[in-house]
Chains A and B, each alone.
Chain A
Amino acid sequence: MPAPKSKTKPKSAARKRAAQGVSMAGALAEAAWSEADAALAQALVEFDEADGAANAADREDAMARLAQSLTRTARKRGLSRIGGLGESVAFDPAEHELNAPVAKTPKNVRIQARGVTRGGEILEKPRVTPVEQKRRS
């Protein structure tokens, strides 16, 4: 028995090409990753150097290069840091992660590790510790 004829119209060449197209966000991500890949690969090598350093000076150098490679990877992927190391700020539980258990919610905190954001979205909150209030004498 012959197969029933399809009632749908054949796709135009343009629509066929369109169907093969990739999403814009995906293509942009691939473009960004193509530049980040080299920096990430370098970071992995620097990590081994830091891990197996023979002395403190070599380790410090390798750590500086590792930090640089990771920072470059992050930049190529559009990530940026939140806050400054050691900075004292008002505590906001939506924007900070306490690095130590506390009995009472602190008013001010110090940034121990910076957070990471991309395009306004917080990917990792800054890690903070409470700032001890100066006692009045």
Chain B
Amino acid sequence: MTDWTLCIDFGTAFSKAAAAPVGAWSAFEPAGVRPLLLSPDGQGNAFLLDSAVFVDEDRVLFGRAALARAEEIGDKKRQALRSFKTLLSVSDLERALNANAPATIDPHRVFQMRDLVVLYLAYLLAAVERGAASDTMIAQGRIASRRYAAPAWRSGDSAGMHDIIVRLFGEAEEFRNAAGRRMLMAEGIPLRTISDALPKASQNAESLEMGLIFEATAAAAYSSIGLEGAASHLIVVDMGAGTTDIAALARIGSRTMELPEARVTLKQAGDFLDQVIANRVIESASWARGAEQKAELWNVLMRQMADIKEAVFVDGRAVLRNQGRSITINLRDVEKDVDFREFGKSLRQAYDHALSVVRDDARARGRSEVHAIAVGGGASTPLIRELIQRKAGSVRPRVIARPATPQWAHSRTFAGNLAPVFPQLAIAIGGALAPDSMLAALGGASRPANDRSGTPAERD
């Protein structure tokens, strides 16, 4: 019977989960990588679970049902709660969790943010259990350990944040057990059930045994697993929607640690690029001169922005149609934008700083290589691709750019089907593959993620 390690990645828009056999790090087989089917309802990508909670008249809805209901109502004053990841990343987490949910999210004014997070996590845990049970390989074994992936906490108190989050997961597990099968029903959970069961769940719960892995470390794990010459030092550039994070990791002996002095966070990322592109189009659209026309064009652009951005950054141009007009957006035009150029400059400076830190550490330990990897939605932008390929000269330690999708994801086992969806599942997969020594906190006991004690210098 195989023991499995499970990793949950709750992203801003979607949550994902994946499992890998315990010990996969030292005996890697691509076939053992098992992303979980969290939304097997035949609508959309079944591996993605919408991160959403909607408080309705007499019940709470989750996932796609929550988003559908919010859209059906179409009231600007009512919205689904989606920003779990942002909430869980704030420096004063306890205070944020104890705040009352705003009226736009909870018109009854009965929930604190903590309650809604616990309810969503209960839904997520139920979906994860269903996904694991429906997997032919996992169902024949058992889930031996669980982890969740998170960005490196910016407050620096990794242990404190971890303790709060495993407590939330514990309450969620308790509530899930009380709610049973209703947890995954499209009609959601009645408010009366919640008001009965949630306080009891909070009282009776114990922290769930879960490890914490930083997203950068998960990226390092999926990027370097199975490589004979895996580098001891990595620099990871992660461009998400709201921030671009640069982190550096060093593997010393069996442990992986972050080099905190290398960490840089820029407030410009995917959302900023959306605005740059939209502004360039509106500036060049001579026919959209009135405020109303500009607002309408802005909305059209934002609705299609994911596709537009991909076409601009990967193919060099995007063509779209609006009110019978054809609009072309070229990468060259975007690159001329003053704000974009400023962002590029800041990004290069931040990267050079982080690279200098990681190379110094590698050099001091007699290591010969630093691997550079880009992750997140912005990994395919030329700006990021060019960045990680810079300084790839012959000066030691050499910097080697790793592909965003690792070679093993193209294994024949997956018949070419993992690679296209890999970027979305990457962090959950990397978190499941990583050995315990790469975790920022082990299940139960916490230790500071950047604790560098007892890590003597080693040479290749």
Contacts and interface: CB of A to CB of B under 8 A. Distances in A.
B315 A27 contact: no
Contacts of A24: 31, 34-35, 135, 413-414
Interface stretch (A12-20, A90-98, A103-111, A126-134): A12-20
B319 A35 contact: no
Given A17-B134, A18-B140, A21-B136, A31 B311 contact: no
Interface in B407-454: 410-421
A120 interface: yes
Contact of A14 (B139, B318, B320): B139
Given A65-B319, A68-B318, A119-B410, A28 B35 contact: yes
A25 B415 contact: yes
B414 A25 contact: yes
B364 interface: no
Contacts of A31: 45-48, 417, 421
Contact of B314 (A25, A34, A75): A75
Contacts of A23: 136
Given A17-B134, A31-B47, A120 B410 contact: yes
A22 B134 CA distance: 8
Contacts of A64: 319, 326, 328
A25 B419 CA distance: 11
Interface residues on B, range: 35 or more
Contact of B311 (A18, A21, A72): A72
A71 B320 contact: no
Contacts of B37: 22, 27
A20 B134 contact: yes
A61 interface: yes
Nearest to A117: B416
A121 B416 contact: yes
Interface centre among B37, B315, B420 (most CB of A within 10 A): B420
Interface string A70-114: 011001111000000000000000000000000000000000000
B420 A78 contact: yes
A39 to B, nearest CB: 8
Contacts of A121: 416
A131 B410 CA distance: 34
Contacts of A118: 416, 419
A51 interface: no
A20 B37 CA distance: 13
B133 A72 contact: no
A30 B319 contact: no
A32 B420 contact: yes
B456 interface: no
Contacts of A20: 134
Nearest to B414: A25
Contact of B46 (A17, A30, A61): A30
A68 B44 contact: no
A72 B307 contact: yes
Contacts of B361: none
Contacts of B45: 31, 34-35
B414 A28 contact: yes
Interface string B302-338: 0000010011001100111100001010000000000
A60 to B, nearest CB: 9
A29 interface: yes
A89 B337 CA distance: 37
B418 to A, nearest CB: 5
A28 B133 contact: no
B416 A21 contact: no
Given A31-B48, A31-B421, A76-B420, 17 more contacts: A18-B134, A20-B134, A21-B136, A21-B139, A24-B31, A27-B46, A31-B46, A31-B417, A32-B417, A32-B421, A65-B319, A77-B420, A78-B420, A118-B416, A118-B419, A119-B411, A119-B419
28 contacts: A14-B140, A17-B133, A18-B135, A22-B37, A23-B136, A24-B31, A24-B413, A25-B417, A27-B37, A27-B46, A28-B414, A29-B415, A31-B46, A31-B417, A35-B420, A64-B319, A64-B328, A65-B321, A68-B311, A68-B319, A71-B315, A72-B307, A75-B420, A78-B416, A118-B419, A119-B414, A119-B419, A120-B410
Minimum-distance CB pairs A-B, first 7: A119-B410, A28-B417, A78-B420, A18-B139, A61-B326, A21-B136, A29-B417
Interface of A: 14-15, 17-25, 27-32, 34-35, 39, 61, 64-65, 68, 71-72, 75-78, 118-121
